[in-house]
Amino acid sequence: MVAVHIGRSTPIAEAFVAGESAPGAPTPPHDRFDDLVDLMKGDTESAEDQVNNGKVPKPPPVVVEDPIGVTTGYDKAKAEENFGYLKDAHSVCQIFTNIDLIKQHPKGFDITKEAAVAFNVQAKLAYNAMTGPMAGVYTFGEGVHTEHSFDILMSEIHEKLLETMFDGMGLDSNHKKQIDSQITNFVKALKNIEIGGDHSKLDFALRFGLVPATNISADDANPVYAFEPMTYLVYLTMDADAFKKSISKRNTQERIHFKYEHVVFKADLNPRYFLKFRPKYDKMIEKLTGKNLKAYSDALNKPVKK
């Protein structure tokens, strides 16, 4: 696999999108370009529609469109700008995830037999997109790894996941409830997939965009807020058997032994660096989807707002 460092240079990625050759890269066949177009457009469809069309869906990125840590007295226009930066950055990550997906699995996945493989591959590539091609645009901190294992009522699984995954992010109960709704919609679609195979674990990469606000004036009476856009990447690894039981229409158990682990990475977005390359990103997205970057980002990301 060829590494693409868009923060420095993007000849390989641009060539793939444009259908042209680049130094050290063969000209991509037209059908591979079409496959990339299909993936990018498909990612904006609901998980249910993707499953009905024979595709293995990716969890959509979520952006909380309320500043974290403040409710009044902030510049709403500046806050909106920062929400937009995160949504656009998520869309660019989607390009690189899908480019590598086509390079590694040009024939795609058979949803009736390979859903488990697809989930694991898609999760790893989503992580790779943020830490590789988007290095410089994002600055990563060390991941926090946590393991969980407990007997639990089926009805309490969602609440437990929310409680453990989002600890320390500053989300209030309203935000968590809406995020739970987004996750529920995604998981409901998976009930129509037969997740077979002998895989002991399933991986998912979840992206959550947040914009904390910090008073930099040292004056509580006359605050001046600075915004710090960031994406939390939650790399979730679940016991495959427990996950299958939790979503199965045929499962009649009230309780289940639920086992999973997650690594939470906090990635700070550098808006100035991102904006330097935004025109290039915009052209790439428009070439692929027929939409500008903002329009595509609005379709891809799921907003959460009070």
For 215-240, what is the mean pLDDT? 92
Average pLDDT over residues 84-107: 95
SS3 state of residue 54: coil
pTM above 0.75, yes or no: yes
CA distance 289 to 306: 30
- Mean pLDDT comparison of 50-54, 69-73, 79-83, highest-scoring range: 79-83
Give dist(CA 245, CA 187) in Å, integer: 12
Q: Given a cut of 50, is residue 77 above it in pLDDT?
A: yes
Res. 99 pLDDT band, cuts 50 70 90: very high
Q: Is the torsion defined by CA of 101, 104, 106, 108 positive or negative?
A: negative
Q: What is the pLDDT of residues 55-64, one digit of tens each?
A: 999 999 999 9
- The rounded mean pLDDT for the chain is 86
Pairing of strands 62-64, 302-304: parallel
Task: Determine which of 117-131, 179-193, 276-290 has the lowest per-residue pLDDT on average.
Answer: 179-193
Cβ atoms of 104 and 67 within 8 Å: the answer is no
Residue 166 Rama label (left phi>0; alpha psi -120 to 50; beta):
alpha
Q: Which residues contact 271 (CB under 8 A, 6 or more apart)?
A: 82, 85, 229
Buried b / exposed e across 151-178, counting CB within 10 Å, b at 16+?
Answer: ebeeeebbeebbeebbeebebeeebbeb
Residue ranges covered by each domain of the chain = 11-304
